[in-house]
């Protein structure tokens, strides 16, 4: 089965889907054998699907940007009637709207989901109680960094906080392993500067973190210790890729109508430079994890994560920055956070977007130190920070 969620928040449209394919004959690897269940038709429309199918090419056949809105809905109605297939269409303009197509019927609204009901219920629980259901401190070390939807350069969208909550809740469904038929990558679509895009995100996981004595470093970990990292990034408008650094493997999905393997995964092997060159040769464009690794990658790969002393110092600087930012003094807050040795590894915070990133790091650092209640409180403070910075931009 699947889970696809599409939602209108204010003037923005957001979508999330998994990539799992369930086969009754043989178990599937959701990362290398999944399909893209959410595709951007053009700058203002997205289409998601869930249900039973033998060939994903038959599901997406004829879905092109040339179709008018009425033609698109009619085609999906006809396709859903004889099959156990549901569709969801998101329209960014003329006004944001979502249409769910099931058994030939169209239901319009501001939000819709299709797929596994149990998975959606779990997503809802995570979305409304994310802090309470966080894993206990010390159980694992996880870092997630994602692109913030923007209205314009360095100006976060008012709905950025809602999207971040949606993404986190959806990822927990996939990572939790409670719903076997919903797994694989989180495939997101966001509204960014007035158009639909696949955003960049980075996630890393260490299943056996160990807090060292003061002055010693927290190692990132190796594959045999349960550590891995994934860089997910767009390659233009209709291609996106997920790169597993430790496995030296990249999974590429091409959702454009002209692709012979539309929505099916293609594997590219090699390190990040090999993959970047291969994608440039195929699609004329590389990805964020190419020749220059992402700031997040620099933070967790190649060096020890941080010393306990650096973490404590960073928390002090974060406290200073948070107080200043909540007082609408963003420039001073940026300067305070920039003083931290830890955020220097992320790159100099020279704009509001990087300040968001720095404060997201704070909650992770608190969790590393075992200060779970402080981490939970900081998540709420970060939400207030986002709204205050957004209104002052």
- The domain limits of the chain are 3-300, 308-392
Instruction: Report the side by side order of strands in the sheet with 97-102.
Output: 38-42, 45-51, 85-91, 97-102, 105-109
The predicted structure's pLDDT at residue 342: 41
Q: State pLDDT tens for residues 346-364.
A: 444 444 444 555 555 666 6
State pTM to two decimals: 0.76
**pLDDT bracket for residue 11 (50, 70, 90):** very high
The predicted structure's pLDDT at residue 140: 59
The predicted structure's pLDDT at residue 148: 77
What whole-number percentage of the chain has pLDDT above 70? 64
Q: Treating both helix axes as pointing N-terminal to C-terminal, what angle do 308-326 and 330-338 enclose, rounded to 10 degrees?
A: 170
Bigger pLDDT: 33 or 134? Answer: 33
The predicted structure's pLDDT at residue 314: 57
The predicted structure's pLDDT at residue 72: 97
The predicted structure's pLDDT at residue 135: 47
What whole-number percentage of the chain has pLDDT above 90? 36
The maximal CA–CA distance of the chain, rounded, in angstroms, is: 65
Task: For the chain, give the mean pLDDT.
Answer: 77
The predicted structure's pLDDT at residue 141: 61
CATH says 3-300 is which class? alpha beta
The predicted structure's pLDDT at residue 1: 74
For residue 383, pLDDT over 90 is answered with no
Q: State pLDDT tens for residues 185-204.
A: 899 999 999 999 998 888 77
The predicted structure's pLDDT at residue 351: 44
Element of type H or E holding 145: strand 141-146
The predicted structure's pLDDT at residue 137: 45
User: Distance (Å, rounded) from C-alpha 52 to C-alpha 341?
Assistant: 51
392 CB-contact burial (10 Å; exposed 0-12 / middle 13-18 / buried 19+): exposed
The predicted structure's pLDDT at residue 302: 45
The predicted structure's pLDDT at residue 59: 94
């Amino acid at each position: 089965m699947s889970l696809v969620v599409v939602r209108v928040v204010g003037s923005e449209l957001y979508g999330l889907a998994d990539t799992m394919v369930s086969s009754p004959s043989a178990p599937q690897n959701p990362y290398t054998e999944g399909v893209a269940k959410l595709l951007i038709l053009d700058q203002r429309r997205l289409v998601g699907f869930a249900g039973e199918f033998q060939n994903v090419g038959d599901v997406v056949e004829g879905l092109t940007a040339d179709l008018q809105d009425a033609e698109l809905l009619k085609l999906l109605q006809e396709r859903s009637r004889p099959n156990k297939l549901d569709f969801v269409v998101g329209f960014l303009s003329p006004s944001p709207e979502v249409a769910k197509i099931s058994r030939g019927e169209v239901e319009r609204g501001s939000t819709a989901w299709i797929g596994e009901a149990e998975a959606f219920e779990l997503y809802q629980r995570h979305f409304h109680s994310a802090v309470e259901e966080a894993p206990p401190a010390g159980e694992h070390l996880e870092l997630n960094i994602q692109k913030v939807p923007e209205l314009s350069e360095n100006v976060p969208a008012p709905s950025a906080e809602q999207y971040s909550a949606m993404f986190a809740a959806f990822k927990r469904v996939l990572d939790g392993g409670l719903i076997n038929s919903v797994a694989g990558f989180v495939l997101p679509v966001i509204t960014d500067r007035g158009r639909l895009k696949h955003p960049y995100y980075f996630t890393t996981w260490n299943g056996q973190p160990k807090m060292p004595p003061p002055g010693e470093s927290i190692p990132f970990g190796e594959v045999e210790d349960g550590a891995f990292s994934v860089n997910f990034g767009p390659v233009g408008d209709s291609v996106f890729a997920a790169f597993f650094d430790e496995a030296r493997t990249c999974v590429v999905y091409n959702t454009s109508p002209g692709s012979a393997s539309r929505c099916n995964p293609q594997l590219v092997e090699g390190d990040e430079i090999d993959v970047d060159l291969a994608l440039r040769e195929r699609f004329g464009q590389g990805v964020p994890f190419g020749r220059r690794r992402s700031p997040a990658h620099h933070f967790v790969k190649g060096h020890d994560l941080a010393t306990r002393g650096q973490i404590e110092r960073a928390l002090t600087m974060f406290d200073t920055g948070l107080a200043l930012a909540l007082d609408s003094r963003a420039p001073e807050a940026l300067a305070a956070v920039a003083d931290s040795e830890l955020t220097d590894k992320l790159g100099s915070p020279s704009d509001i977007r990087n300040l968001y990133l720095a404060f997201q790091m704070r909650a992770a650092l608190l969790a590393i130190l075992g200060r779970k209640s402080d981490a939970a409180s900081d998540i709420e403070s970060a939400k207030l920070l986002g709204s205050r910075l957004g209104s002052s931009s």
